[in-house]
Amino acid sequence: MQKPINIAIDAMGGDNSPYKIIEGINIHSKNSDDVNYKIFGNKNIIDPLIKKIELSKLRYETFHTENSIKDTDSALSAAKKGKNTSMWLSIESVKKNNSDAAVSAGNTGALFVIAKLNLSMIENIDKPALSGLWPNKKGMNIVLDLGANIECSEKNLVDFSLMGAALHKALYESEVPKVAILNIGSEELKGNIIIKNTYQILNNKQNSFYEFHGYIEGNQIMDGNVNVIVTDGFTGNVALKTAEGTANFITSELKKTINSNIIGKISSLINVKNLNKFKNKLDPRLYNGAILLGLDKPVIKSHGSTDAIGFANSLKVCEKIIKGRLIDKIKENIN
C-alpha cells in the first residue's frame, strides 16, 4: 500500500485566505483519501475554520505563525521577513522531507525567491520555469515559462522542453508529449536568433521521451496538435494574460446576451447542458496550479485571486505530480 502524500500549504497567501484555503482543502479531501495536509498560518483563525468542515484529525496538522507574505511585498523584502512566515515554513517543510510538495496562493515573486533559497536545482538545470495547464481542443497543454524568466538562452528553452514533457507525462501518462516552440511564424527563418538556434538543437536531437513539432503560433495553441508549448517568461506571461482576458470576455458577454431578453433566457434553458460544458471549458479555476519546474522538490503556485474550487484543483495538481513521479522523470531524462 502506497504511503499517504503530505502537502505543505501556505494558508495565508492570496485573496480571502485562509477561508478559501480551508474550504479548498475540504473540497479536495472528499475526493482524495490518501492525501494529508500540513497547514501553515495563524491557528487562531485556521483551527475554528477546520472545525466547521468534515476533516479527520488524522489527515491534517496546523503549524502556528502570525507572520505572512503580503501581495505588496517585493521578492527581496519577502525574503528578508525571515523564516517565520507561512510561505517560508511550508517550503521548509518540503526541504526537510516532512512534506512531498508545497502549495501557495501568495506573492509569486516571493514564492520564487523563497523556493530557490530553500531548495536545490535539479542537476544540469540552470533556471526554473513556471509552467501551467492550458486547455486545447483535444485535451490539455503544458505551457512554460509563464513568467519566471524574462530572458532565456537556447539551453534554457531546451531544458524547458524536457521539463514540460516530463510534467505532461506525469499528469497524462498514456499520452505522448509533443513539444513546440511559440513563435511569430511557422517558417524556420522566423523568430529571433535564440528561438532559431533552439529550433535547430531540438530538431537535430534524437529524443525518445517526446516528439518535437517545430514552431507554433499563438492562434494555434488551442488546436491540440501539440501539448507542450515552450517560450520565454515574458512572451508566456503575455500570452497567458491575453488568453485569460479573452476567456473572461467571452463568458461575460455570452451571459449578458443570454439575459438581455426573453428569447435568450428560453434558449439558455433549452441548451443549459451545452452552455455548462462551454462555461467549464473556459473556467480558469479548473486549470489552476502552476508548477515551478527545475527545483528538486515540487512547488505549486495557485492563482492568488482564485476561489476554493480553484485552490482545490491546485491541490489535485500536487497529488498528480507526486504520484506521477515528476521530479524523477526529469532527472531520468535530463542527460
Is residue 11 predicted with pLDDT exceeding 90? yes
Mean pLDDT of all residues belonging to the chain? 87
Q: Band of the pLDDT at 302, cuts 50, 70, 90?
A: very high
Same domain, 159 and 68: no
Strands (E), 12-164: 35-41, 60-64, 101-104, 129-135, 140-144
Same domain, 143 and 267: yes
In a domain, 100, yes or no: yes
Lowest mean pLDDT of 11-25, 118-132, 213-227, 230-244, name the range.
230-244
Rounded CA-CA distance 143/227 in Å is 8
Q: Which residue has the higher pLDDT, 2 or 326?
A: 326
Rounded CA-CA distance 37/158 in Å is 35
Rounded CA-CA distance 183/235 in Å is 9
Rounded CA-CA distance 163/144 in Å is 9
Q: Is the peptide bond before 10 cis (omega within 30 degrees of 0)?
A: no
Same domain, 35 and 82: yes
CB 277, CB 285: distance < 8 Å: no
DSSP 3-state assignment of 157? helix
Same domain, 266 and 142: yes
Domain that holds residue 235: 126-287
Span 296-312, mean pLDDT? 92
In a domain, 332, yes or no: no
Rounded CA-CA distance 24/317 in Å is 13
Helix (H) or strand (E) run with residue 114 in it: helix 108-118
Same domain, 118 and 131: no
Lowest mean pLDDT of 6-20, 49-63, 186-200, 311-325, name the range.
186-200
In a domain, 73, yes or no: yes
Span 152-172, mean pLDDT? 92
Same domain, 168 and 300: no
In a domain, 4, yes or no: yes
Q: How many domains does the chain have?
A: 2
Same domain, 57 and 71: yes
In a domain, 333, yes or no: no
Same domain, 206 and 180: yes
Q: What is the pTM of this model?
A: 0.86
CB 221, CB 134: distance < 8 Å: yes
Rounded CA-CA distance 145/231 in Å is 6
CATH number of the domain to which 241 belongs? 3.40.718.10
In a domain, 334, yes or no: no
In a domain, 179, yes or no: yes
In a domain, 208, yes or no: yes
pLDDT for the residue 266: 55
pLDDT for 99-110, tens place per residue?
A: 999 999 999 889
Same domain, 280 and 159: yes
